[in-house]
Structures are given as C-alpha cells and as structure tokens.
Structure 1
C-alpha cells in the first residue's frame, strides 16, 4: 500500500478539541479528542533515560469514550537534534490511546546540547528538507500509525534565498510520504507578521495529504500576532477555513486548540464548536478530484477490461477490442491451422465468441507460445464438434515444442494426417478420412 493510500484509508473522525481535564464538560460536542502526551508524562528516573508515562492519567484518557489523536509538543521533526527521551514514550502514548494517527511540529527546540524552551522555525532550504525528511522517516519507523507534521508558526522575516513556506511544506510532505496537519491559525499569524499569504501557502501544498486542520485564537504581543491558543478563532481565520476546508479531499479531523485558562465562556466555546461542525460538513466539497493511487488505478482498469459488462467510458470498449485483436493475433500466429479449422467449421461469429470466453477465463500471456498453449487447453475442455481439432492442435503445439527444446516430438492421429494438414494449408476444410492409427514425428528445424 502506498503512503498516500494509507492516509486515504484513515477514518473520518470529525470535530475535535485538544484535551485538558477542564474541557470535560465540552466533550459531548466533539467527535474526537487530541492529546498532547507530554502533559501526562513524568521526568525520567535516570539521567538521559526516557520520560515515563503517568499510568493513571493514561488510564483516564483511555476511558474517554471518543477516538483519540496524539499530537506531540516536545520532539519536533525539523531540527538537527532530537530529544531521544521523547521518542519511545511518544510511540507508547500512541499505542496506549489507540490513536488513529500521530503528529508533531515541523520545528526545532534544541541547538547542540541546549534546550531552547520554544518551538522554532527550521531553515527552509534543500538541506532543511532533507533533514526533516530523515527525522520524519525515523519517527514513522517507531509509530504503529500514519504520521503528519504541523505547519509551524514563525515570527521571523524570510531569510534571503530561503524557500517559500508553501514550497518547503510541500517538499517535505512529498519526500517523507507523510500527512500534513494544516494549522490555519499559524499560517494566518505568519501572513499577518509579514510572511507568505495563507492562500498562497495552501495553493502550493499537496492537498490530498492534509488529514487534519487546527484552528485557534491568538493575541497581540510586541507588535506581533502570536499563536497563544487563547480565546475564539479570529473571524479572519474562520474565513480562511471556509475557503480552504472545501478544497481538502482527504480531511479527517478539524480540531480547536484553546488553553483552559484563556478559553471563551462555556457557551461561546460551544458556539465555536458548532461553527466548526458546519465547516467540517463542507470538507472536500470544492476539492479538485484526486487521481487514485497507481495500484488502485491499475486494478480498476484491469477489472474493467477483463469484464464484458457495460462501462461509462467508451474508450474501455475500444481497448477491449484492441486487446482481443492482439490476443487473437498471437493465437492465430502460433496455431494457424487450428484457427483455420475452427473458422472453416464454426464460422467467424462462433469463433469470436470462443475467443471472448477465453479472454474472460484466462489472463493474457506476453509470449504467443504461452497464449497458444492456454488457448488449446481452454478449447480442449469445451464440447466442440470439430473433426480433427485436438489432433491439429497437438501437431502445432508439438512443432512449437520441437523448436523450444531442439528435440523431435511424436504426435498421434486417428486418420491419415497428410490430407488433413494439406487441406488446411490450402485453406480448405478437410474431407472425411477413414479411421486408422497414425503417428508422425515433428523434427526441430535444422
């Protein structure tokens, strides 16, 4: 199965909320909860060892009667240093919560031995793409489910020579074969702070890889708009979502990110979730159709060509006829006397039906000799009243075998084979011959 096919087959989960215990009263309004697992971990017991899961917390999380997603906030995939203490507990969190997929930020938070305490934008270059791809592939090897990276926020001005945001995100997703968590608030903050426009970023993305959308609120800080996960989703972000979500053919969840201490009043939050549900209903409604995966395409086309039923595309009928002509030509070239005997005895329409049944029953063979042997086996099982048919087929198959092996082949006839073969060579139907017992030897060419 291809990576993209894995993403297509993920369940459609619906509207979700990043989980905090304070949000328990809102869970009746959502279909899925997204867990940031590091919130429920303990420090490592030994220096440098892996973090440890709070078993009781994960038991409580597992009992929430909603599907779960796992969204990492401590082991981003965009940097040169990965905090090894996160990797195994992250995978364990995914498994324990039976998450449908997992995600992390396309960012970095360490430089050398120093933890920087913040998710920071990676360099957007070809080298940065290769680094992110390697990190994502390593992450995927540890996970039992598909992986998506989050499109990050950046408060920095574009660096001369760097790739545009959309180009960078798209290249990483395609090369890593992973999904995209499209954080529309992050992209809107980037646009507002002087980076690429949201819709320009989206226009560059492989939209079939977007499996999740994050929506959130933010706030002004020192002249910048920051991704604070506070308050309701800004009207401008909601308008972006109304334009983008209908274009996403493979969207599986829309998640609202809000911190408990800065959430809107309960009823306003409920209204926000209801608005997200309307957005969810619009998913894929304006999407450009996505071609199927190569294996799916090949199987569907092969099935249509091998069937004899009606099809919507008239080109299928043309291809069927061309394939039938090629296959019939192989048989006629390898078994010319057999084909002539069938035509002279049964007529063209009956032979066409005979061939059609063979096409349906037997897959095509690249080599004419193999096609001929299978045709002979197919015809030999039919109750056809064609005098000398099996003997003529055996003679022609023996001639092929003599060429292939370099050894003479013996063939038995129940009548004198000379007049039968001569008549067919001359294009005439053989006349009746008295029965007898004859054997001829077919020698390989000198």
Structure 2
C-alpha cells in the first residue's frame, strides 16, 4: 500500500471551518479492527466518513496503542493508510498524541514517542500534533483519564520544560491543549489559577495552544463559575496563541460537569464557542470531537440539534474570514 498524499500546507491566516476529531481504539465498533493485512477502520467508521466527510475541512484522530509492544510505525501504518484512503486527500489532517505526557512531574524520555510521531508525519504530513497538558501515565502505567498537571510553581516549571522539549523534538507544529478538570473524574494538586498557569506555560515554552471548550467549562464549574460567570477569567488565557477549539459531548449531572465524549453538546458549549470565536484572532478551526453514530454512520438523534447549531456558527465564522458573509 502506498503512502497517503501529504496534508496540504495551511496559510497562517486560513479559517479551516469545522473539523472532526476521532478517538479510534482497537477492537471497538468505532475504531480500528485487527486484520490479516495489519488493521483497518471498522465498517461503522467507514459509514460515518461516507455520510459526513463533506462537513469537515480537516480532521485528526487520537493515538491508541494496539498492544503493549514497543512503538513501531510499521505496526500502525496499514490501518492508518486505510483510514486516510477513506477520507478526502485534499484537506489538512492532524494527529492527537496521548504519549507525550507533558503534565507529568516525573522524568520522562519523550524521544521514542517523538520519533514515532515524526515517522508518521513523514508519511502523512500532519499539519499539527495536539495533546492535552495532562498526566497521562505515572511510573509507566497509563491512567484511565489524564490528570491536570501539578498546579504549583514547581509543577509549572516542570510542565513548561516538558512542553518546550516536546515542541523541539517534533517536526510538525505542537498544539498544547488546556487540560480537563472534571470533578469526580480527576483531582487537582496545587492552587494556582489554571488559566494564568496555561498562559504562562504557553508563553515560556513558546507553543501554540488548543482550547477544549468542555475542559474550560469543567474548570469553571469546579470554581463555582456557572451561568453568566462561565465567562469570568477567560482573558487570562493565551487567546492569541489559540489555533483550535475542541468540543466533545458533555453533560451536567447533579450540578457537576462531566466530560463524557458521548457526542451530545451542551448549550453552554455553543455559547462559549461563540464567545471565543470573537477573541481568538489566530484560530484555524473548530473541532467536533468524538462523534457517536450508528451502523449507517448517522449521528445519534440527541446529538444532532446542537451539532447543527455548531455547524452553522462555525460556517458563519469561516465565511467572515474570507469576506463571504455579507
């Protein structure tokens, strides 16, 4: 199988519009499946791409290990080639890593992960690599949900050095994603303000950033900033460095914010996205992350209303960037 065509170059002033991000674990109905030829996307994923791919100006998928063997790009390329064969070749594509572990307070050798990522980039031409600023593993053991970095001055110093190192090791651009603070799904060590922490890290490590709207809201809910207060403090974020927004399915359960990735967007996520679109001057696009769909590729009924609201909002923003809105 030949390599997929490289991702097109993106002008810095581009507005790519709506993108899709997919978590594709091995052995799940929405994911990759092992085959004698080295793996493939499942029929459900193919059905979704056939039905919806014209909605999206770019895409990414998140790395999921197929086993605990040593990282080898050759073990993943057959499946990744088949994924990209099922998608338009003329649109930018990115890669969501889960192994850079930039939030960890421990010493961590990122070179094997960076080498693996760079080898994939040489084949697929990723426009950027993104990963949450989280603690993804401790002492070599992956965590079920990435924890926020340690919110102290020492933790900030370590996380900044980690992000700078990852940026220097990777050939494609690195986007560092604001971490999640889901109450009940993670816990927080330290008391620094997360928005100021993230801005200081982005400036000192000189990295571009991704703002996950659900992650921002998870922090606001943790701080008791609900309703109109959900906009408080956002100006402390590195908004001028933001290149991408993420939205994944979230839910408020008994007053607590849950980042469930179940496809259903909250009204608050749409409202906050509208607020951020006007305040992130260098934004490339807005990603609908982890859609949930049936065997025919149709989005679940509960997810459709706010998905369509998001599509309309982002299409208007993208048109304004090209002067077509009028």
Q: Same fold (TM over 0.5)?
A: yes
C-alpha separation in 2, matches of 1:283 and 1:195: 33
Pick 1 or 2: higher relative contact order, CA cutoff 8 A, min separation 6: 2
Name the SS for the 1:95 alignment partner: helix
Q: 2:81 aligns with which of 36, 55, 59?
A: 59
Q: Work out whether residues 102 and 146 of structure 1, in 8 Å CA contact, stay in contact via their aligned partners in 2.
A: yes
CA apart distance, 1:184: 0.8
Q: Work out whether residues 256 and 273 of structure 1, in 8 Å CA contact, stay in contact via their aligned partners in 2.
A: no
Name the SS for the 2:275 alignment partner: helix
- Partner of residue 23, structure 1: 48
C-alpha separation in 2, matches of 1:115 and 1:268: 30
- Partner of residue 75, structure 1: 100
Name the SS for the 1:138 alignment partner: helix
C-alpha separation in 2, matches of 1:222 and 1:92: 45
Over the aligned positions, Cα root-mean-square deviation in angstroms equals 3.1
Q: 2:71 aligns with which of 41, 50, 53?
A: 50
Alignment of 1:42-441 (within 5 A): 42-43=66-67, 45=69, 49-52=70-73, 53-63=75-85, 64-65=87-88, 66-81=91-106, 82=108, 84=110, 86-154=113-181, 155=183, 162-194=191-223, 198-220=230-252, 224-260=256-292, 264-265=299-300, 269=304, 272-273=307-308, 275-282=310-317
Name the SS for the 1:130 alignment partner: helix
CA apart distance, 1:226: 1.5
More helix by share: 1
Greater Rg by CA = 1
Deviations 1:405-435 (A, max 9, x none): xxxxxxxxxxxxxxxxxxxxxxxxxxxxxxx
C-alpha separation in 2, matches of 1:35 and 1:157: 26
- Length, aligned pairs only: 274
CA apart distance, 1:96: 2.5
C-alpha separation in 1, matches of 2:273 and 2:156: 27
C-alpha separation in 1, matches of 2:103 and 2:93: 25
CA apart distance, 1:192: 2.2
C-alpha separation in 2, matches of 1:29 and 1:284: 14
CA apart distance, 1:131: 1.2
Shift in alpha-carbon separation, 1:113–1:54, aligned structure 2, 3 A: closer
CA apart distance, 1:285: 7.5
CA apart distance, 1:185: 1.2
TM-score (norm 2): 0.73
C-alpha separation in 2, matches of 1:265 and 1:141: 41
Q: Work out whether residues 210 and 250 of structure 1, in 8 Å CA contact, stay in contact via their aligned partners in 2.
A: yes
Deviations 1:314-339 (A, max 9, x none): xxxxxxxxxxxxxxxxxxxxxxxxxx
Name the SS for the 1:33 alignment partner: strand
Shift in alpha-carbon separation, 1:50–1:56, aligned structure 2, 3 A: closer
Q: Work out whether residues 43 and 51 of structure 1, in 8 Å CA contact, stay in contact via their aligned partners in 2.
A: no
CA apart distance, 1:98: 1.1
C-alpha separation in 2, matches of 1:90 and 1:221: 37
Alignment of 1:27-38 (within 5 A): 27-36=53-62, 38=63
C-alpha separation in 2, matches of 1:144 and 1:269: 37
Deviations 1:204-235 (A, max 9, x none): 02211000000122135576322111132111
CA apart distance, 1:15: 0.8
Shift in alpha-carbon separation, 1:267–1:222, aligned structure 2, 3 A: closer
